[in-house]
Amino acid sequence: MAAHAFDVIVVGAGNAGLTAALAAREAGARVLVLEAANRAERGGNSRFTGGIFRAAHDGLDAIKPILHPDNAKWYDRVETGPYTPEAYAADWSATSEGRQDPELMRITIERSFETLRWMHGKGVAWELTADKQVDPAKQAEGTRITVPPGGAIRAYHEGIGLMDSLFRAVEATDIEVWYDAPAADLLTRGSTVVGVRVRRADEFVDVHGNVVLAAGGFEANPEMRLRYLGPGWDLVRVRGSRFNMGAMLTKATLAGAQAVGHWGGAHAVPVDFAAPPVGDLRITDKMSRYSYPYALLVNRNGERFIDEGEAQVWLTYAKTGWAVRAQPGAVAYQIFDQKTLHLLEPRYATGTPVVADTLGGLARELGIPEKALLRTVDDFNAAVADDAEERFVPLKTDGVAAEPAGQPPKSHWALRIDRGPFVCYPVTCGITFTYGGIRIDGDARVVSTEGTPMPGLYATGEISGGFFYHNYGAGTGLMRGAVFGRIAGTNAAARAASVSEPAAVGA
């Protein structure tokens, strides 16, 4: 059995892992990155994302210094306010119902924009999300595009651009990256972790050093999804990497790491019913369908089942997939009329809608009960205010509400569905990542079941739990991964410089 030694071993080559590797190298460590994927599929879930990083900031002028020069074209067309730490914490607490670890939340928020600046210094470019929720070319002349402050910043060219930039930064150093190198186990001496066992095609390779786990959750593993999330979750679409099987999450808990967080929870969104069963890098996240606040969302019985306009979409999308999965056949239908088609996200261009001149004709095309759909829409329309169109403001919570009898309310953007032709996008549930994980402290050290840090073991990204419960604010995951990746890499390097562990094998 071959053996190697490094100061820091990072397991996983997504956003969280590469920020950890870069921070460790910056601190003087000799670093190895283990990537289960081959080179063509490298980058984990991060490469599939829309690239939003939720950061506290003081408004557009404060963001401009880190933006790519191409963003100058938006400055006269976009409006976005500051996103204060207090607003960030309030959104996080609302989406996680106050269950999140307060220290981990505080650190993420306090170090968020600082981390974007640090990544910018490593070559990561940033851009405004001006064309994320609407297609600017379809808006009336002179329309100013409102960008929600919490979702204002994304990596230039989204997840693909993010990972290209991070890999360029890594490849400009002497950091080693091993591809087709899944971590198979942790090497331990009691609760101390001294390295990783790597599974190769024809042998195991032991690598000794301080370990940073950044290997993702278990969202690509149908057995674990069924076990922890419940019946039917083995059949949902996987939006990201096929390599996030939860193997090192399992190995870490078996080695004594404390399980924490919402193991029955996950980030799950509405995706086109024709989305592939697992993430495809040719389309990344372009099968997502997030314009439902301007639609009626009905199930195959022709019934509404959620408040489509509860809040800004970036604060509801990660739980809406759950609601869709719970419907008969795990399918739902986003129905738009001509008043709001110009507000569809550009990503809808990847789908083929069902179109009909009448609602009855649409019902027949979809195969749902015609009378039921007409009754649902009629009752909804009757509850919409006569002046709703005049008060309607897209991209802002406008208070244009409707409370139809026997249906969920619609808290914002409630317009009548009455102007054909009617356009429908069938959707199902797509899982992004899981919420349960291993406990870390504010120094990114993995905490044991006894409540003490496990020497030599750090973690960041989706493998760490305690951050999110029930729901999620867009961009918090990438931000959390980068903040704690930087912390984990720095601290693992510091430990390597101060502690010399003797070689050990076994777990």
pLDDT of residue 503: 41
pLDDT-wise least confident of 139-153, 214-228, 426-440: 139-153
Number of Cβ atoms within 10 Å of the Cβ of 411: 19
Residue 134's identity, in one-letter code, is: V
- pLDDT, tens digit, 9 for 90 and up, residues 37-73: 999 999 999 999 999 999 999 999 999 999 999 999 9
Residue linked to tokens 């562990």: 501
Can you give 232-249 as a three-state secondary structure string? CHHHCEECCCCCCCCHHH
373 within some domain: yes
Q: Could you tell me if residue 154 is left (phi over 0), alpha (psi between -120 and 50 degrees) or otherwise beta?
A: beta
91 within some domain: yes
Query: Does residue 12 register a pLDDT over 70?
Result: yes
34 within some domain: yes
pLDDT of residue 82: 98
461 within some domain: yes
279 within some domain: yes
| Residue 216 and residue 326 in one domain | no
Kindly state the average pLDDT of the residues 212-239: 98
Residue 8's CATH number: 3.50.50.60
pLDDT of residue 3: 78
46: enclosing H helix or E strand: none
Please give the share of the chain, as a percent, with pLDDT higher than 70: 98
pLDDT higher for 140 or 457? 457
Which of 411, 430, 449 lies at the terminal end of a domain, its last residue? Answer: 430
pLDDT of residue 90: 98
Number of domains in the chain: 2
| Residue 107 and residue 210 in one domain | yes
Residue 317's CATH number: 3.90.700.10
| Residue 234 and residue 364 in one domain | no
503 within some domain: no
Which of 415, 430, 445 lies at the terminal end of a domain, its last residue? Answer: 430
330: enclosing H helix or E strand: none
| Residue 312 and residue 240 in one domain | no
Query: Phi/psi of residue 168, each to 5°?
Result: -60, -40
Residue linked to tokens 């379809």: 138
CA distance 501 to 186: 14
pLDDT of residue 327: 98
Q: Which residue stretches of 283-439 are H helix?
A: 317-325, 359-366, 370-383, 388-391
* Pair 169, 20: CB distance under 8 Å: no
Kindly state the average pLDDT of the residues 259-271: 98
| Residue 209 and residue 339 in one domain | no
506 within some domain: no
305: enclosing H helix or E strand: none
291: enclosing H helix or E strand: none
| Residue 347 and residue 245 in one domain | no
500 falls in which pLDDT band (50, 70, 90)? Answer: low
Which of 430, 456, 474 lies at the terminal end of a domain, its last residue? Answer: 430
* Pair 306, 323: CB distance under 8 Å: yes
Q: Which residues, including other chains, have CB under 8 Å from residue 287's CB and lie 6 or more apart? A: 239, 271, 272, 274, 275, 276, 347, 350, 351, 430
| Residue 15 and residue 91 in one domain | yes
Determine the structural domain holding residue 93 and report its residue range.
2-166+175-265+435-498
| Residue 328 and residue 260 in one domain | no
Average confidence score pLDDT of the chain? 96
- pLDDT, tens digit, 9 for 90 and up, residues 360-386: 999 999 999 999 999 999 999 999 999
1 falls in which pLDDT band (50, 70, 90)? Answer: low
| Residue 283 and residue 157 in one domain | no
| Residue 133 and residue 18 in one domain | yes
| Residue 259 and residue 278 in one domain | no
- pLDDT, tens digit, 9 for 90 and up, residues 412-462: 999 999 999 999 999 999 999 999 999 999 999 999 999 999 999 999 999
97 within some domain: yes
CA distance 441 to 426: 42
| Residue 83 and residue 186 in one domain | yes
